[in-house]
Amino acid sequence: MKPLRLVPDGTNIRFMTHRRWSFPLSVVLIVASLALYGVFNLNFGIDFKGGTLIEIKTAEDIADLGDIRGKLNDLRLGDVEVQEFGAPNDVLIRVETQEGGEQAQQAVVNQVKATLGDKVTYRRVEVVGPRVSGELASAGSIAVLSALFAVLVYIWFRFEWQFALGAVMATTHDVILTIGMFAALGLEFNLSSIAAILTIVGYSLNDTVVVYDRIRENLRKYKKKELKDILDLSINQTLSRTVLTSVTTLLALGSLYVLGSAVIKSFTFAMIWGVFVGTYSSVFMAAPLLIFLKLRPEHMQEQKDEGTEEASA
């Protein structure tokens, strides 16, 4: 069998000529993402806001959301969300945090059960207090920042500081654009969204390291080539792998988004977005940033010559 190639051999795309528009575009997208976050903020889920989440299954084939919503509004519990959740008779109920601590939240569960009666099946009941939600928000932020710092340290140790800074800048670009997407679309931001962001960091870093490793090899192999030519050559050599990885990942994520339940839709959509921005940043951000950071082939050659002399001695 012949190997599958989505990119023909001998492809020679001049990626570095496109940095004149890719950098300004990324700056505009980052500013827009931060502006959307500042204006609309994130649609925090129960994990971060606190409150009560109840998942039920009605006896009817199609749940009467209006009737359920009307009954719960009569309880005067504040902000109550009722929505279809997967099958037509699956319903997800969210009730905002009540004053009075955990006992008040548990009282909400008892009130809802008493109102809806025994004709519904209770599949899941979650109560998250404000203190717990605050701790989860802090832990999620620390997890993302720690991941970015670990990337910086690893790439700095594995390559050079220009590569480390370029990888962190490209990965931060992906994280900010993902947060902007959540703010723009109003998707629920919960713990699974944090997991999606961390997964995007890993995916983007993996793509970037593959490109960077080929760049380092070519810097030592082609001593007289200009840096932009070496970057173009390296990206074209790894382009087939990059495209194939992205396509296969998107096939899996697309199936999860279409066929999966509503629980994982926000996570899956965030991952699909992350594959696109991660692939874009690896090609149009991470590599061109090396030019901006003044990486030179001579610098790599000096290190190689020093290493050869030490080995000979």
Strand, coil or helix: 187: coil
Domain span including residue 78? 51-128
Sign of the CA dihedral running 254, 258, 261, 262: positive
CA 52 vs CA 19, 94, 98, 123, 137: distances in Å = 48, 6, 9, 14, 17
Binned at pLDDT 50, 70 and 90, residue 308 comes out as: very low
Does the pLDDT value for residue 297 go beyond 50? no
According to the model, what pLDDT value does residue 180 have?
92
* pLDDT tens sequence across 231-280: 888 888 888 888 888 888 999 999 988 887 666 788 899 999 999 998 89
Greatest alpha-carbon pair distance for the chain in Å reads 86
Residue 10 lies in a domain: no
Residues 150 and 221 grouped into a single domain: yes
CB 192 within 8 A of CB 267: yes
Q: Is the domain of 58 the same as that of 181? A: no
**pTM score of the predicted model:** 0.74
Question: Phi and psi at residue 57, in whole multiples of 5°?
Answer: -130, 120
CA atoms of 261 and 259, how far apart (whole Å): 7
How many domains are contained in the chain? 2
Residue 82 pairs in a beta bridge with: 93
Q: 195 and 120, same structural domain?
A: no
The yes-or-no verdict on residue 299 having pLDDT over 60 is: no
138 and 229 together in one domain: yes
- What's the half-sphere exposure (Cβ side, CA atoms, 13 Å) at 20? 3
Judge whether 219 lies within some domain. Answer: yes
- Give the end of a domain, one of 128, 145, 167: 128
**Whether residue 154 sits in one domain with residue 198:** yes
pLDDT tier for residue 228 given thresholds of 50, 70 and 90: confident
Instruction: Give the C-alpha separation, 237 to 55, whole Å.
Output: 50
> Residue 313: inside a domain, yes or no?
no
Please indicate, yes or no, if residue 311 is contained in any of the structural domains.
no
* Same structural domain, 161 and 240: yes
The CATH number of the domain where 202 resides is what? 1.20.1640.10
| Residues 162, 290 contacting (CB under 8 angstroms) | yes
**111 in a domain, yes or no?**
yes
Please report the pLDDT score of residue 271 as a whole number. 92
Contact 108, 50 (CB under 8 A): no
User: 291 in a domain, yes or no?
Assistant: yes
- Span 287-292, mean pLDDT? 84
